[in-house]
Amino acid sequence: MANDKPNQPQDESRRRFLKYSGTALGGVVLGGVIGGLVGANVKQTDKDETAEPGKSGTAAENKDYNQALMFFSQDQFTTAEAAAERIFPADDSGPGAKELGVAFFMDHQMVSQYGYNARDYMLPPYYKAEETQGYQLIFKRNELILLGLEAMNQYSNTKYQKPFAEIAPEEQDAVLTAFEKNETGIKDFPATNFFAMFLNLTMEGAYADPLYGGNRNMAGWKMRNFPGNQMSYTDYIEKEEFVKLEPLSLHDHLELG
Amino acid sequence: MATKLPKVPVVIVGMGWVGGIIAAELTKAGISVVGLERGKSRDTQDYYHVHDELRYAARYDLMQDLSKETVSFRNTMKMRALPMRTYGSFLLGEGLGGAGVHWNGQYYRFLPYDFEIHSKTVERYGKSIIPENVTIRDWGITYEQLEPYFVKYEQMAGISGEKELPSNIGQMSTPFATAAMKKSPAMKLFEEASKKLGYSPYVIPSANLTEPYKNPDGIERAPCQYCGYCERFGCEYGAKADPVVTVLPVAKQSGKLDLRTHANVTRIIHDGKKATGVTYVHTPSGEEFTQPADVVIMAGYLFTNVRLLLLSKLGKPYDPQTDTGSVGRNYAYQINGASTSAFYEDREFNLAMGAGALGSSIDDFNGDNFDHNGLKFLHGANIRFTQTGLRPIQYQPVPAGTPKWGAEFKKATIHNANRVLSVTGQGASMPNRYHYLDLDPEYKDAFGQPLIRMTFDFEDYDRELVKFIAGKTKGIADEMKATKTEVHDSIKQYNIVPYQSTHNTGGTIMGSDPKTSVVNNYLQMWDADNVFICGASNFPHNSGYNPTATVGALAYRTAEGVQKFLEKGGSLV
Ligand SMILES: Cc1cc2nc3c(=O)[nH]c(=O)nc-3n(C[C@H](O)[C@H](O)[C@H](O)COP(=O)(O)OP(=O)(O)OC[C@H]3O[C@@H](n4cnc5c(N)ncnc54)[C@H](O)[C@@H]3O)c2cc1C
Ligand code: SF4
């Protein structure tokens, strides 16, 4: 009957998990798996996998084939990348949205369940909402973002005679501010909703697990000293001093066949 | 036409903490139970790759799929309710274990004052202290009566806590099952500051196990690793007490539980006096079934509990205009918003590390532990510092006045990522005549059935509570050796957009008066004695605490009531 207990290791996958978790689970005898497996070291990050392009190896080896577009057009991508970089710019603390791959993250998210609002309540009727009632538009996120990027270029073309990606950084900030405050003068466009979503996506792209295409090389996490995906902090939780750990990602926890 | 299945002694709607506890207790006693859960099955292995903030915390992977059913909301009766289209204020559980899979595990027994709030308030201050339209009432059960059931939950879940608790909270007949959580440096700062001010801090009792533990049912679990992915995540160690690793294996092992997932219950079938069973849709096939039973147990969280009663026309719907009826009455929530942030220029803390229930708190301003004369609110708040594990997408700490994006924002969030400690109040929510649940007249679920509609707002007495409690959080934070502190002391209207708390209460409240309550103190329905309804929907008000300790105790009480009923029949009170 022991195998009926779902909280006990019953198969290879549980054993592997415990091995990679690198944790000491006290003296518990978990379905007969003791010592040896529990407490093994966490798999080390493979240096080559995280190396920056061009730094080592041939260009072809280091090409990130995930950096391609599922949803945006080239222009939409360029606009999104430029806007995200102003929201989360490169500075002395580390890379900005562009280097982190935030626009690729956005692109990929737009064809996910999130972009299609697949798990949101989308049934009619639609009415104008009070602020306390939240998002009430028939528009899906991946429709809203395209409309928003287009509106940014339209606004920028009118005001500066150039598309958004080509105007000066201060001008880009002025455009973004106009959207944030809903002062674009563009009729029937929910600029504030768009901006809030775009801002949110930028933060997600900077800090989500690199598996989603942003937070390249975990550089977003490193800036904040966020250790990412570790299995145990039991040994550190009482420590007075700040503990810096090399971050780990979900990739480091997957056993490849 | 629905397919009629063979009759069973007991059918349970919803397999979260409440459904799981009741299923375990009844099956252990040899009673056959059918458990209906509309979500999918789950086990610990599903969480080996769970440390993913985007998927679980930002995209709500484990929560109810709102495309199929949500809640509609308005602040007042004058407004048109609109559906909660995407998550915000609270997060609904779905699937085996319900919200018990992705809770934090902060464990607080409600105060003795809570259960007799009306009589104790009137006794000390007179009736006039109760704000207009506030409908507090005694629960029809006392702390002493509920005490043995708290113990059952604590032993089952392996709840950890200090040996000695402050005298201003409910006393325990049996000590906690395991030792208290470890103390982080930030918790020590909070405790030292509180003591200096004469308060009585204690480590938050926790359902994140602190040592290897074997419970009375023989279930063994491993301790918490302070992994920092707890709230909104499942625990890959089985260290967080969750129905799937505690009560459900016991029920399954008995051989008496017939668990059916993807079973969405749509009606309680009844003849006006007794229920005869429930109707459900097996969602993958769309096929409809009726499951006849001697006893129907509603354990689907308050929105389902209230909604199915109303859809099935069982019990009397509450009408706020005439103040009559009971189903949907006394919806309450949690009054958060009082807090103080302490900024440290000279040091950093390991804030990515933590556990759902790691923290320390005080109750010196909770319940009636302080004099309310001259104050314009009742009850109070548990004031706490918690270290639940701060993750970078959803945590962007900045001092007031920082822009919301751009260079300055980035600099401030990175600088402050590990430098801010928050002292917060978790405020009690008093029921109000005009805060209630009923069926939405317009919006429907994926089956074409009306959504539940919530009418709720913050009132002046809530704003007073926040102001008062915020002052106390500032007092503590100011003693925590920070470089500077920033107080947050005002709330406006209730807004369904920002996350606040999944501590929704009321709607099928318990009590001793069949006119104004839905169930008696065995959680047995006044209007149909073979229907038991259990969950935070039974709370006539919400305390300044997380609800699940009290929910768990009520579930054990329900299980006992059902057994009595199966033996004797009739009303249990
Ligand atoms: C993020 C988060 C953190 C929390 N932290 C804490 C904490 O630290 N401390 C604390 O005390 N509490 C906490 N809570 C609250 C706690 O999770 C709940 O109080 C508790 O899990 C409720 O248990 P329940 O069985 O009543 O309901 P649920 O867990 O919601 O279970 C109800 C089940 O019924 C099913 N169901 C619903 N309708 C139907 C239907 N029509 N047919 C079939 N099945 C149905 C649902 O799918 C669900 O599985 C937290 C909640 C959340 C979301
Ligand atoms: S913090 Fe502890 S209880 Fe919570 S998920 Fe991590 S190991 Fe499990």
Is the residue at B155 inside a domain? yes
**A247 in the same domain as A219:** no
Cβ-defined contact of A224 to B65 (cutoff 8 Å)? no
User: How far is Cα B375 from Cα B475, in angstroms, rounded to an integer?
Assistant: 18
* C-beta B227 within 6 A of ligand 2: yes
Q: H helices within chain A, ranges in order?
A: 12-21, 47-50, 59-62, 74-87, 97-100, 102-110, 141-160, 169-180, 191-207, 219-224
| pLDDT at residue A63 in the model | 87
CA–CA distance from A58 to each of A55, A64, A99, A100, B131 (Å)?
A: 9, 12, 20, 21, 74
Three-state secondary structure call for residue A177: helix
Q: Is residue A66 part of a domain?
A: no
Give CA B343 to chain center in angstroms.
Answer: 31
Same domain, A132 and A156: yes
In a domain, A81, yes or no: yes
**Is residue B187 one of the residues assigned to a domain?**
yes
In a domain, A59, yes or no: no
Q: Which residues of B touch A26 (CB under 8 A)?
A: 211-212, 222-223
Q: Are B328 and B350 in contact, with CB atoms under 8 Å apart?
A: no
> Is residue A249 situated within a structural domain?
yes
Residue B573, domain member (yes or no): no
| Nearest-angstrom CA–CA distance, B136 and B367 | 13
Report how far residue A149's alpha carbon sits from residue A145's, in angstroms, rounded to the nearest whole number.
Answer: 6
pLDDT in tens, A14-37: 555 555 454 445 434 333 323 333
| Same structural domain, A216 and A257 | no
Tell how far the Cα of A250 is from the centroid of ligand 1, in angstroms. Answer: 28
| Subunit contact A253:B48, Cβ cutoff 8 A | yes
When pLDDT is averaged across residues B498-518 and rounded to a whole number, the result is 97
Task: Determine the average pLDDT of the residues in B212-233.
Answer: 97
Average pLDDT over residues B247-254: 98
Nearest CA in chain A to B388: A237
Domain around B177? 3-568
Asked if residue A125 has pLDDT above 80, the reply is: yes
pLDDT band at A54 (very low <50, low <70, confident <90, very high): very low
Q: Is the pLDDT of residue A216 over 70?
A: yes
Q: pLDDT confidence of A188, banded at 50, 70, 90? A: confident
Q: Is position B178 within any domain?
A: yes
Provide the 10 A C-beta neighbour count for residue B300: 29
Q: Give the mean pLDDT of B483-512.
A: 97
* CB-closest option in B74, B244, B414 to A223: B414
Instruction: Say whether B228 and A233 touch across the interface (CB within 8 A).
Output: yes
ipTM of predicted complex: 0.95
- Domain count for chain A, please give it: 3
| Ligand 1 site, residue B38, Cβ cutoff 6 A | yes
Which of B189, B213, B248, B353 to mutate against chain A (most A CBs within 10 Å)? B353
Q: What is the pLDDT of residue A255?
A: 85
Q: Please check whether residues A213 and A91 belong to one and the same domain.
A: yes
User: Quick check: is B503 catalytic?
Assistant: yes
Q: Do B65 and A119 touch (CB under 8 A)?
A: yes
CA distance A247 to B263: 41
Residue B240 Cβ inside 6 Å of ligand 2? The answer reads yes
Instruction: Please count the structural domains in chain B.
Output: 1
A-chain CB neighbours of B440 within 8 Å are none
- Among the listed ranges A58-67, B238-247, B385-394, B465-474, which one has the minimum average pLDDT value? A58-67
Rounded Cα distance between B571 and B573, Å, is 6
Please tell me if the CB atom of residue B230 comes closer than 6 angstroms to any atom of ligand 2.
yes
- How far, in Å, CA of B81 to CA of B72, rounded? 6
The pTM of the full predicted model, rounded to 2 decimals, is 0.94
In a domain, B17, yes or no: yes
Find, among B468, B300, B450, the residue nearest to B381 by Cα.
B468
HSE-CB at B335 with a 13 A cutoff on CA atoms is 37
- pLDDT tens digits, residue range B153-164? 999 999 999 999
CA distance B388 to B435: 31
Q: Which of A14, A4, A9, A1 is nearest to A29 (CA)?
A: A9
Q: Which ligand is nearest to the CA of B208?
A: 2
Structure confidence at residue A30 (pLDDT): 37
Ligand 2 centre and the CA of B10: distance in Å? 34
Please compute Rg for chain B using Cα positions.
23
| Same domain flag for A191 and A233 | no
- Residues B107, B357 contacting (CB under 8 angstroms): yes
- Assess contact for B161 and B418: CB atoms under 8 A: no
Flag whether pLDDT at A51 surpasses 80: no
List the single residue in A88, A233, A250 with the smallest CB-CB distance to B225: A233
Same domain, residue pair A215 and A244 = no
- Taking the C-alpha atoms of residue B349 and residue B340, their distance in angstroms, rounded to an integer, is 17
* Ligand in closest contact with the CA of B233: 2
Domain of A155 in residue numbering reads as 74-223
Residues A44, A162 share a domain = no
In sequence order, the β-bridge partners of residue B278 are: B268, B291
Whether residues A114 and A216 share a domain: the answer is: yes
pLDDT digits (tens, 9 = 90+) for B59-75: 999 999 999 999 999 99
Report the residue among B56, B213, B229 best suited for mutation to probe ligand 2: largest number of ligand atoms under 8 A from its CB: B229
Classify A43 as helix, strand or coil: coil
CATH code for the domain in which residue B406 is found: 3.50.50.60
Residue A61: inside a domain, yes or no?
Answer: no
pLDDT, mean of residues B532-558: 98
Alpha-carbon distances, residue A162 vs A2, B408, B411 (angstroms): 69, 26, 30
- pLDDT of B322 strictly over 50: yes
- If you average pLDDT over residues B390-410, what whole number do you get? 97
- Residue B492 inside a domain? The answer is yes
Q: Give the nearest partner residue to A240 out of B51, B185, B238, using CB atoms.
A: B185
- For residues A249 and A129, membership in a common domain is answered with no
Which residues touch B53 (CB under 8 Å, ≥6 apart)?
A: A207, A208, A209, B229, B391, B392, B393, B394
Taking CB atoms and an 8 Å limit, are B223 and A26 in contact across chains? yes
B186-B233-B331 Cα angle (round to 5): 90
Chain-chain contact of B54 with A209 (C-beta, under 8 angstroms): yes
Residue B401 lies in a domain: yes
Is the model's pLDDT at B32 over the cut of 80? yes
The answer on A25 and A93 residing in a single domain is no
CB B14 near ligand 1, within 6 Å: yes
Does B226 sit in the ligand 2 pocket, CB within 6 Å? yes
- The label of the residue with tokens 């990348």 reads A81
Residues A123 and A194 in one domain: yes
Q: Give the contacts of A76 (CB within 8 A, at least 6 positions apart).
A: A146, A149
Spacing, Cα B100 to ligand 1 middle (Å)? 6
Measured in Å, how far apart are chain A's first and last C-alpha atoms?
Answer: 30
In this structure, the answer to whether residues A98 and A190 fall within a common structural domain is yes
Q: Cα(B527)–Cα(B387) distance, rounded to whole angstroms?
A: 45
